[in-house]
C-alpha cells in the first residue's frame, strides 16, 4: 500500500491518494489532484470529501466527469463552499457542479472502497459538513481541516464556524482514538495524534 500527498491551489490544500493492489481512492480534491492521480497512472474507484470548502473540491467535477464515485456528507452546495468569501479574497472560484453519488451521515458506520474500511466521523465547527476518516487497520486519520499537526486546529472565523463546538468535537470524537494514529490533515505536514493530545494548546 502506498499513500501519496498532493498539495495544490491558493490555500495549499492537501489531497491524498491511497494505492493498493486492488485499486486506488482519493481523499479531497484540491487544484491539480485529478492530474496528480493521472500522473500516478491511477483512476481512483472513489473520491472522499472531508468537507466542501472551495479549496477541497476544486477538482471534484473532473473526478465526476471521469465517472469516479464521489462520497460526501452533503449534496453539492455553493453555500458550504464559501464562494462569497472566495470572491472577497479575489480567488477565482467558478467550480463546475458535480454530483455526490453517496451521502454519508453520523449514522454511517463505515465506507468500504477497494477493500479499505473508512469510518466517517462528524467533527463540525470548522464547517457544518466536516467529517474525518479513520482507517483503524492502517492507524491513519484523515482529519481534513479539523486538527493539524504541530498544534493547530481548523479556522472558525468563516460562516458557520464555531470554535467551542470544534474543540469539543475533537476532544469527544478524535482524542479517544489510539495515540499511535498517524494524522493526515488538510493542510501542512502529517503528524501523530498522541503528539497533539500531549501538546496541542487548543486541547488543554
SS3 string of 150-169? CCEECCCCCCCCCHHHHHHH
- pLDDT tens string 62-87: 999 999 999 999 999 988 998 777 77
**Residue 199: per-residue pLDDT:** 97
Beta-carbon contacts of 41 under 8 Å, excluding residues fewer than 6 positions away, are none
The structure's pTM equals 0.96
DSSP H helices in the chain: 33-39, 60-65, 83-88, 163-169, 193-199
**Residue 79: per-residue pLDDT:** 87
**Residue 94: per-residue pLDDT:** 63
- pLDDT tens string 123-158: 999 999 999 999 999 999 999 999 999 999 999 999
Percent of the chain with pLDDT over 90: 90
Nearest to 105 by CA among 129, 82, 127: 129
**Residue 65: per-residue pLDDT:** 96
- CATH domain 2-203 topology: Metallo-beta-lactamase; Chain A (3.60.15)
What are the residue boundaries of the structural domains of the chain, listed by start? 2-203
Q: In whole angstroms, give the CA distance from residue 181 to residue 137.
A: 10
Amino acid at each position: 500500500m502506498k499513500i501519496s500527498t498532493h498539495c495544490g491551489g491558493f490555500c495549499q490544500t492537501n489531497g491524498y491518494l491511497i494505492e493498493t493492489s486492488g485499486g486506488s481512492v482519493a481523499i479531497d480534491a484540491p487544484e491539480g489532484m485529478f492530474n496528480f492521480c493521472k500522473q500516478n497512472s491511477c483512476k481512483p474507484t472513489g473520491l472522499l470529501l472531508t468537507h466542501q470548502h472551495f479549496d477541497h473540491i476544486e477538482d471534484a467535477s473532473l473526478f465526476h466527469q471521469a465517472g469516479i464515485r464521489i462520497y460526501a456528507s452533503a449534496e453539492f452546495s455553493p453555500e458550504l463552499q464559501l464562494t462569497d468569501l472566495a470572491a472577497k479574497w479575489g480567488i477565482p472560484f467558478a467550480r463546475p457542479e458535480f454530483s455526490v453519488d453517496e451521502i454519508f451521515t453520523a449514522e454511517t458506520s463505515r465506507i468500504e472502497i477497494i477493500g479499505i474500511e473508512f469510518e466517517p466521523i462528524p467533527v463540525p465547527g470548522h464547517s457544518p459538513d466536516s467529517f474525518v476518516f479513520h482507517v483503524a487497520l492502517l492507524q491513519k486519520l484523515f482529519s481534513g481541516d479539523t486538527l493539524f499537526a504541530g498544534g493547530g486546529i481548523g479556522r472558525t472565523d468563516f460562516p458557520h464556524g464555531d470554535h467551542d463546538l470544534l474543540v469539543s468535537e475533537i476532544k469527544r470524537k478524535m482524542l479517544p482514538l489510539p495515540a499511535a494514529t498517524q494524522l493526515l490533515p488538510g493542510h501542512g505536514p502529517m503528524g501523530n495524534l498522541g503528539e497533539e493530545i500531549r501538546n496541542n494548546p487548543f486541547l488543554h
